[in-house]
Structure 1
């Protein structure tokens, strides 16, 4: 359980940093992706995009 939470946490960090590039592909704007401004800084938590990309990667690895 702790491993999966760590993997999801790392995936959210990676996808958050790659969000400007992924927005060109349409990711990061899915329902479930949170965006908010706090103290003048913009934060985004791409939960739905993380789940979608993790599922796609899982299926690709599973097929290979």
Structure 2
């Protein structure tokens, strides 16, 4: 039983380090390349409704693109590790 707990803690630690590294990497990319990423969120297919007292924005295409990229990264990670 203790062996299982220790293994789970090691795996959890690895995953937290990987997630933290990814967050730092995304932060660096946004910090240095923000001016080149203006198109993100303004793609064709993103729903934007603006009225006098109302704004609605639903980034459908941006979310689909982000989901596709994340899915590819997860599959690559599983393939190589």
The bucket for the TM-score relative to the shorter chain is 0.5 to 0.7
The answer to whether the aligner puts 1:50 opposite 2:60 as a matched pair is no
TM-score, normalised relative to structure 2: 0.46
2:64 is paired with a residue whose SS is helix
**Whose helix fraction is larger, Structure 1's or Structure 2's?**
2
TM-score between both structures, scaled by the size of structure 1: 0.56
Structure label with greater radius of gyration: 2
Residue aligning to 2:45: 32
Deviations 1:5-49 (A, max 9, x none): xxxxxxxxxxxxxxxx8xx52211111001012451211011100
Q: Which has the higher contact order (CA 8 A, sep 6+)?
A: 1
- Runs of 4+ deviating beyond 3 Å: none
Aligned-residue Cα RMSD (Å) equals 1.8
Structure 1 SS opposite 2:70: helix
Q: Which runs of 5+ in 2 are unaligned?
A: 1-29
Identify unmatched segments of 5+ residues in structure 1.
1-20
Greater strand content? 1
